[in-house]
Amino acid sequence: MIEREININEGMELIDQALKLSPDNVDFLYTRGLGYYKQGNVEKAHQILSEAWEKRGLYNHDHYLLLQEVEQALGRQERDE
């Protein structure tokens, strides 16, 4: 839902429920970070994605690319302020 932007708000509710059951699941954290990013909350997205990246035991290229994209967006946002 979040990745395909079908219903981001409902997807965020579902991922929050999943994180209550498994708070350290890096894939759930990644999805939550993606949701915040798609909602325009770049700072929160960066915080969550960084947390997921630090907890990740194995390299995941998609997660790496999203984190890089969010960091670039954060840098643009800071320059614009």
Digit-coded pLDDT (tens) for 2-30: 888 889 999 999 999 999 999 999 999 99
Domain coordinates of the chain in residue numbers?
8-80
Q: What type of residue is 2?
A: I
| pLDDT value, residue 10 | 94
Q: Per residue in 40-77, pLDDT tens?
A: 999 999 999 999 999 998 999 999 999 999 999 998 87
Q: pTM higher than 0.75 for the full model? A: yes
Topology classification of domain 8-80: 1.25.40
pLDDT at 4: 83
3-state secondary structure 27-70: HHHHHHHHHHHHCCCHHHHHHHHHHHHHHCCCCCHHHHHHHHHH
